[in-house]
Amino acid sequence: MKIPEGRRRFFLFQILTLVVLAAVVLRFAVLMLRPASREPAAPQPKTLERGPILDRNGKLLAMQTRLSNVSLWRPDIKSVDDTCLTLSPLLDIPAAELKSRIKASPTDFLYLKKRISQQDGERIAQQVKAGRLPGVRLEPVAGRVYPNQDLASHLLGFVGDDNIGWEGVEYGFQPYLIPSPTGNTQGKGAAGGSTVDFGNQVFLSIDVNAQYYLEKIADQVKADNDAEAVTLLAMDAKTGELLAYVAKPDFNPNSFSSYSDLERYDWPVSFSYEPGSVFKIFSLASIMQLGGINENSTFVCNGAYERTLPSGEKITIKCLDKHGVVTPEKIIEYSCNAGAGYASDTVDAANFYSMLGEFGFGTKTGIDLPGETAGYLQKPEDWSARTKPTIAMGQEMSASALQMATAATAIANKGMLMKPIIVRKVLSQDGTPLFVDEPQAVRQVVSPEVAEKMLGFMEMGSTESGTGWRAKIQDVRMSVKTGTAQIADPKTGRYSDTDYIASCLAILPTDDPQLIVYIMIYKPKGPSYLGGRIAAPPVRQAAEELVSYLGISRGKSPTIPHSGTITLPKLKALEIGAEMPDLTGVPKRLLVPLLMRRDISVTILGDGRVTKQNPPPGTPLTQGTAITLELR
């Protein structure tokens, strides 16, 4: 019997449908019965935690934390006024200013504030969750906390939103501070079991207490003299380690973006200037090493350096006074320009230039900081007839404050120049040394005899007849040289009659140099601009503080021998409960964990132990309480 064509097609369609259904059922059965895959899950992304920066004694200067950027998507806002009123106290920005910025933004997306603290971020998150801030978003970013605010800010530098260091040690030691994504130092700690790669610990050469003392002095100097900038350095004379590194004006790296380029400028290493008469100790030491003069050489100062060239041209460089017959010692004691100029005539230009280069002038010191200047020391073939005597007086060349302090190590160290050190060591999280900057002798610049004589000449500068007598402290022999330099006016090409640089260098004790202190005051506008008047006194203040703090022996002060071992009681970890405790006398190292708490906001000012606190003891503590602690 013949099946009709239409019916045959229908049967064929049914058969194909059954085959497809069977295939689907079979595949489903295979999937259901197959054992679960044993392939490892995709690895969780690692959190890269930037390593801490500490001072030479392990006191914390920079640490990792979590911050947030606050952004706004304008189309989602229901009421600009309500949004601004709610955000104003949370961001510490006036509501009117927020409203103006929102309306003036050329795009619908804008940032209202960057790098806010965890505590502030949590307060905003609560308002967002409650529906009071539509359109507001929190963007988590890695950030840094600098517990000491602006202390050593130029040295530390700062970190951008991308967790990358931009200036200072944060930039220079970036490879050590930020771990590689494939690093081996891992530890559990991120949410969801993801791993954390920790950066390494960077220990600086500075001492937090010494830094604090000298910053206070520099602040006062800047204010008293209405100066544009002040640099103050303290260096270990034997090792080249910087104990304090001060530049004013400064900035708070916790909020670096709100400061100007001038405030963030790293004066000690980046600014090059004519140092003036302080330079005479290096020029005379060079001339003495070359054999041009000895300690008994004499020159006549009639109030100016004068020389007539074979062409008949006369060169005249003024001196501060008519000093009469001067020896090298008197040239330093009186800061005699004429004597320094006449001394330079005893050596040729090429050798003089070479000796100054041995002190490190005209080249970078090699310190581990970005932006270092080499200064300026013109080659002899480009010198004019007056260049050599002018350089001998500290002009027609330039140097940084760091170069000046570093060159002084050759005078303090029996003629041996030391490399400056700002980072002592880098340790991994388990304490393994990764980098150690041991004291490094660069080269023998002058003989021990020349260095010793120069220290003696400088010691006369600290006597009542010397220009540096205001730097002298009791019971400690000090070698001092002051300087006052005019600043070249770029508009006229001549030296300014109003702009000066005052400076002072001290090496102490003279008989066993352990400390170098150098100050530079840029454009003072107070009652005086002379180095002997305004730069020597703060050097005395710094020396007084440091001699006592570092335990440098004073000539008439008794010393008590002991074993060198002191046993201190163990301090318990600090705990804060429902009420504010009395924190008076608590050391800073026990306060640092409080910075990581999310329920309270803690600001630590200064260093040492707590002397003042707000709120007072017994005050009930609630979510978001702001605590301020002053230390000394």
User: Is residue 8 over pLDDT 70?
Assistant: no
* DSSP assignment string, 54-113: E-TT--EEEEEEEEEEEEEEGGG-S-HHHHHHHHHHHHT--HHHHHHHHHH-SSSEEEEE
Please report which confidence band the pLDDT of residue 238 belongs to, taking 50, 70 and 90 as the band edges: very high
Please report which confidence band the pLDDT of residue 592 belongs to, taking 50, 70 and 90 as the band edges: low
> Mean pLDDT across the stretch 346-350?
96
Please report which confidence band the pLDDT of residue 20 belongs to, taking 50, 70 and 90 as the band edges: low
Q: Kindly list the distances between the CA atom of residue 441 and the CA atoms of 238, 365, 414, 418, 564, in Å, as whole numbers in the listed order.
A: 10, 12, 12, 5, 29
Q: In this structure, which amino acid lies at residue 144?
A: R
User: Is residue 320 over pLDDT 80?
Assistant: yes
Q: Can you say whether residue 206 is alpha, beta or left, with left for phi > 0 and alpha for psi between -120 and 50 degrees?
A: beta
Taking the C-alpha atoms of residue 623 and residue 195, their distance in angstroms, rounded to an integer, is 30
Taking the C-alpha atoms of residue 398 and residue 486, their distance in angstroms, rounded to an integer, is 12
Residues ≥6 apart with Cβ < 8 Å to 106: none
Residues ≥6 apart with Cβ < 8 Å to 360: 403, 406, 407, 417, 442
User: Is residue 415 over pLDDT 90?
Assistant: yes
The pLDDT of residue 37 is 42
Taking the C-alpha atoms of residue 338 and residue 581, their distance in angstroms, rounded to an integer, is 66
Q: Kindly list the distances between the CA atom of residue 425 and the CA atoms of 151, 192, 288, in Å, as whole numbers in the listed order.
A: 20, 34, 38
Stronger pLDDT, 614 or 422, i.e. the higher one: 422
- 230 near 246, Cβ under 8 Å? yes
Residues ≥6 apart with Cβ < 8 Å to 571: 587, 590
Q: Kindly list the distances between the CA atom of residue 438 and the CA atoms of 194, 321, 422, in Å, as whole numbers in the listed order.
A: 38, 46, 11
Please report which confidence band the pLDDT of residue 115 belongs to, taking 50, 70 and 90 as the band edges: confident
Residue labelled with tokens 């340790």? 427
Core vs surface per residue 494-528: b (16+ CB within 10 A) or e? eeeeebbbbbbbbbbbbeebbbbbbbbbbbbeeee
Taking the C-alpha atoms of residue 53 and residue 202, their distance in angstroms, rounded to an integer, is 5
Helix (H) or strand (E) run with residue 519 in it: strand 515-522
Please report which confidence band the pLDDT of residue 601 belongs to, taking 50, 70 and 90 as the band edges: confident
Taking the C-alpha atoms of residue 254 and residue 97, their distance in angstroms, rounded to an integer, is 22
Taking the C-alpha atoms of residue 459 and residue 453, their distance in angstroms, rounded to an integer, is 10
Q: Kindly list the distances between the CA atom of residue 137 and the CA atoms of 26, 103, 300, in Å, as whole numbers in the listed order.
A: 49, 18, 77
The pLDDT of residue 30 is 47
Three-state secondary structure readout of 376-403 = ECCCHHHCCCCHHHHHHCCCCCEECHHH
The pLDDT of residue 329 is 96
Taking the C-alpha atoms of residue 44 and residue 332, their distance in angstroms, rounded to an integer, is 68
Fold of 210-550: Beta-lactamase (3.40.710)
- 188 near 47, Cβ under 8 Å? no
Closest Cα to residue 438, out of 426, 416, 421, 417?
A: 421
Taking the C-alpha atoms of residue 307 and residue 46, their distance in angstroms, rounded to an integer, is 72
**pLDDT digits 0-9 by tens, 466-518:** 899 999 998 899 999 999 999 988 788 788 889 999 999 999 999 999 999 99
Q: Which residues pair with 508 in a beta bridge?
A: 515
Stronger pLDDT, 394 or 198, i.e. the higher one: 394
The pLDDT of residue 622 is 80
Closest Cα to residue 496, out of 255, 289, 264, 228?
A: 228
Q: Can you say whether residue 332 is alpha, beta or left, with left for phi > 0 and alpha for psi between -120 and 50 degrees?
A: alpha
User: Is residue 538 over pLDDT 70?
Assistant: yes
Residues ≥6 apart with Cβ < 8 Å to 247: 154, 218, 229, 230, 231, 265, 266, 267, 268
Domain 49-204 part of CATH 1.10.1130.10: no
- 415 near 451, Cβ under 8 Å? yes
User: Is residue 574 over pLDDT 90?
Assistant: no
**Angle made by CA atoms 181, 183, 187, in degrees to the nearest 5:** 100
Q: Which residues pair with 68 in a beta bridge?
A: 116, 140
Domain boundaries, the chain: 49-204, 210-550, 588-631
The pLDDT of residue 119 is 82
Half-sphere exposure of 232 (CA within 13 A, CB side): 30
Mean of pLDDT over the chain:
86
> Mean pLDDT across the stretch 358-379?
95
Taking the C-alpha atoms of residue 591 and residue 607, their distance in angstroms, rounded to an integer, is 11
Q: Which residues pair with 427 in a beta bridge?
A: 201, 433
- 614 near 580, Cβ under 8 Å? no
Residue labelled with tokens 């409960």? 577
Please report which confidence band the pLDDT of residue 54 belongs to, taking 50, 70 and 90 as the band edges: very high
> Mean pLDDT across the stretch 619-630?
81
Cis bond before residue 389 (omega within 30° of 0): no
Residues ≥6 apart with Cβ < 8 Å to 166: 157, 158, 159, 160, 256
Taking the C-alpha atoms of residue 148 and residue 135, their distance in angstroms, rounded to an integer, is 35
